[in-house]
Structure 1
């Protein structure tokens, strides 16, 4: 495994980090807790020491699963990355979405990052995770109802209390990062990035490279589309976020699969899967520090972790980029 320092902080993360959104089941069609714990342990055995989670994933379930998994691991060898600022139990802040919980009950979610809410969320996360500190604490989404300095002052207090080692943001723009940095040093920004979603290359990547901020790329497999396992007409339950995602139309799935077919010989020549090739390409992009990759069982987790063993030469990356440039999606 490769390990990367997150900005100027004291936290070092594994380049491939275990993303536990799917493990929490929410918006992914349920979960099996024992499989998720086994997946985390299998990842750890291959050097994946960092786990990213959030309270909203399964409304606490993902954090509880992570807590169960790290109980038997040396705490100082594991990096727990979690978030705050998404409340489903409180109707305050900026309304985010209507959704359903894992039991199918209606749920209203709010982006809310007022100081008192953050302090409560931190205590709840520490309890669910079964730990007394969080390695990287990230605001999940910007909250337009709370001034950024107010939010960051509260997180800074948690740092001073020893409950948080480093502060990060998620889904923040460059301007929002600049404003947050007036109050607290930021280690990172967690943002969506994949072969099919590269808009951060315009401004966020240059900013983070210039100011030594880590970029944690989430959904590098584009919700599984880049595995090549989906076929046109694939059925998704209404609770699955892919059911309404424009990239999962029959036409786009066909086009992406045709692109992936061009990469298949390269993957085979390296005795690698398409997924492993995609993860390695992601980590080879300028400014990308960590790839967050989900797994729902140990077999998937092992495959993800072994992506680090795939080596890509400059001309191979160039070949992939040229094939990508020809891919037109609706």
Structure 2
């Protein structure tokens, strides 16, 4: 069982990932279970019609009850689609409750192990959103709650209403700003820290070439790190990681994720996949031995002013 990796189900929803099929999505979740992954991250807004929830539920119904009990299911509310099909933040208490109820129904479960506020709604006090999540805990629909994509100040305000027991934030070797901010704060406050973008949309998996042309509809070219000099610097780093990974009989993806979960305060990495064969790249990722971590740090230091040893 790997407690350092969480399968993130955003790619399986098929909104920004091209070519996703329900068959492959379900096979991917099964492959993760077979590989020892026991934590799964979904959200009300993962799919225009809740595809991630539905596909997770389909797999859960096929599992042996004893195996099902080992699963830690993370849900998120606070984002939904408006009438134009645009994903928007909505932290109103009544919306959070409704979306949590619907998400649970789509999955076919009664309670999330962890339920999180997906994003702070700037039009709604974070304390009001936290109150709604507290009510869901009291109703037995979540065992504990947390907060994603928030500042230290927002986490503190949330925690005045209900304990914030987990956060989600971005972290990868190319983008390390959160180490000294929200991750350090969460560590001080004994929150679980689940980091995403550990592979930076596949760039740190070592599978995207310098001249790769993305399919129409793929959202990745809109990210600054996939543009111009930033992308070329990233490829320079991936080239070095490729050599190091081969020397240690690892994949570049495994090395990148293992670096992330080696950082102080990080509990686990959220990693996405939408094909079963992708699971093998990261299923056994975990904290790196200190000498190897230092080697990876030196490589990443070429794009960061400072890197935690």
Same fold (TM over 0.5): yes
Deviation at 1:302, TM superposition (A): 2.6
Find out whether 1:292 has 2:270 as its counterpart: yes
CA drift at 1:323? 1.7
Hey, what's the Cα distance between the residues in 1 that align with 2:87 and 2:273? Answer: 25
Provide structure 2 residue ranges, at least 5 long, that are not aligned to the other structure.
none
Q: What is residue 86 of structure 1 aligned with on the other side?
A: 79
> Map of 1:219-298 to 2, 5 A cutoff?
219-298=197-276
Structure 1 residue ranges without an equivalent (≥5): 3-13, 91-105
**Offset at 1:250?**
4.6
Q: Is 1:109 the counterpart of 2:54 in the alignment? A: no
* Equivalent-residue separation in structure 2 for 1:41 and 1:322 (angstroms): 36
Q: Which residue of 2 aligns with 1:69?
A: 59
CA distance in 2: counterparts of 1:262 and 1:110, whole angstroms: 39
Root-mean-square deviation (Å): 1.8
Q: Following the alignment from structure 2 to structure 1, what is the Cα–Cα distance between the partners of residues 245 and 208? A: 18
1:232–1:250 contact (8 Å) kept in structure 2: no
CA displacement 1:111-136 (0-9 Å, x = unmatched): 11111111110111011111111111
CA deviation after TM superposition for structure 1 residue 307, in Å: 2.5
User: Which piece of structure 1 moves more, 174-183 or 111-120?
Assistant: 111-120
How does 1:161-172 map onto structure 2 within 5 Å?
161-172=139-150
Any idea what the Cα deviations from partners look like across 1:211-270, whole Å, max 9, x if unmatched? 101111011000101112222343224532212111112533332222122223331232
- Checking the alignment, whether the CA contact within 8 Å between 2:176 and 2:304 is kept in structure 1 is no
Give the structure with the larger strand fraction: 1
Structure 1 pair 252/68, CA: closer, same or farther in 2 (3 Å)? same
Residue aligning to 2:194: 216
C-alpha distance in 2 between matches for 1:263 and 1:162: 45
Deviation at 1:287, TM superposition (A): 0.9
Q: Does the Cα contact within 8 Å between 1:82 and 1:136 map onto a contact in 2?
A: yes
Partner Cα distance (2:143, 2:216) in 1: 38
State the TM-score, normalizing by the size of structure 1.
Answer: 0.86
Q: How many residues in Structure 1 have an aligned counterpart in Structure 2?
A: 301
- What residue in structure 2 maps to residue 38 of structure 1? 27
Partner Cα separation in structure 2 for residue 163 and residue 66 of structure 1: 17
Shift of 1:45: 1.6
Deviations 1:46-79 (A, max 9, x none): 2211100112121211111111111122332111
Deviations 1:142-176 (A, max 9, x none): 10111112111111111011111110110011000
Deviation string, structure 1 residues 173-225 (Cα, Å, up to 9, x no partner): 10000000000011111111111111111221221121101111011000101
Alignment of 1:3-152 (within 5 A): 14-59=3-48, 60-73=50-63, 74=65, 75-89=68-82, 107-152=85-130
User: Could you say what secondary structure the match of 2:284 adopts?
Assistant: helix
- Per the normalisation by structure 2, the TM-score is 0.92
Whole-angstrom distance in 2 between the partners of 1:205 and 1:111: 23
- CA distance in 1 between partners of 2:209 and 2:227 (Å): 10
Q: Find the aligned partners of 2:75 and 2:134 in 1 and give their Cα distance.
A: 16
